[in-house]
Copies of this chain bind each other. A is one copy, B any other.
Amino acid sequence: MHHMSGPVAHLGYARVDTQRSHRQGMPECVFCPGKTPTQVAEIMAVLFEREGLAVATRASRRTYQAVKQRLPQARYYTKARVVAAGQPKSTIDTLVLVASAGTVDIPVAEEAAVTAELLGLKVERLYDVGVAGLHRLLAEEESLHRADVIVVVAGMEGALASVVGGLVDCPVIAVPTSNGYGASMKGLSALLTMLTSCVPGVAVVNIDNGFGAAALAHRIARVGQPLHSDGGRDGRHPG
């Protein structure tokens, strides 16, 4: 059992932040590596109870099963390795396009796409449009221009972020991936490429951090949204 101390639930090994959606605009999510399946399940139960939405990333199927026992409504997004229970409190009418360079980058792209959906954003996917075959990307320019925010997921040389950033006027969030070999140095090469992009206005997050890209897209989407009476900015409530 946990005990509460103000807005924090003490579990011994964790202090669950149950007012984060108030403070940072989205509930605390669970990063699974380094936690036992039981710990993840216990934290998610607290979050679900307080926030109505519990999300865990980098979750193995075994972790999912532990959560499922505790929260029967939990579901597993296999490609994204995300476990979730509940729904976003509200949706925001902002379209996030998640584009990935290669087939191998899909798990990170799905982590971004699924997280964004769970945070109430609208999401489109555009996969395998790396610059080696530029016409595949240019054929989808309409999709690019329709988006409010674009998340670009790419490993190896990571050039896709610059090319997309040069074609559009909306914020581009670049997610380097650790896919690749040799001089890709586990994503460092793509990371540096994205940071040194000649296109102004590209935001970079950590290697493989699809979750962080979605969280950033969510913060961006809330800019310009009308303020709620509770002091936080928020979107329309679902249904």
A residues with CB within 8 A of B: 5-8, 12-15, 17, 20, 23-26, 28-29, 31, 33-35, 39, 94, 101-104, 106, 127-136, 139, 145, 148-149, 156-159, 162-163, 165-173, 176, 178-209, 211-212, 215-216, 218-225, 231-233
Contact = CB atoms under 8 A, between A and B. Distances in A.
A198 to B, nearest CB: 4
A6 B179 CA distance: 29
A14 B188 CA distance: 24
A23 B167 contact: yes
Given A35-B103, A103-B35, A223 B148 contact: yes
A15 to B, nearest CB: 4
A96 to B, nearest CB: 10
Nearest to A178: B182
A197 B183 CA distance: 10
23 contacts: A12-B127, A14-B103, A26-B201, A28-B133, A35-B104, A131-B198, A132-B198, A149-B223, A156-B198, A157-B192, A157-B193, A170-B222, A171-B220, A172-B219, A180-B196, A181-B207, A181-B208, A183-B196, A188-B192, A195-B206, A200-B211, A201-B212, A223-B224
A201 B189 contact: no
Assembly stoichiometry (copies):
8
Contacts of A139: 5-6, 8
Contacts of A25: 169-170, 201
Question: What 7 A-B pairs have minimum CB-CB distances, sorted nearest first?
Answer: A34-B104, A182-B207, A25-B169, A203-B203, A200-B215, A159-B159, A224-B224
Nearest to A39: B103
Contacts of A202: 205, 212, 216
Centre residue among A176, A204, A211 by max chain B CB count within 10 A: A204
Contacts of A211: 200
A181 B188 CA distance: 11
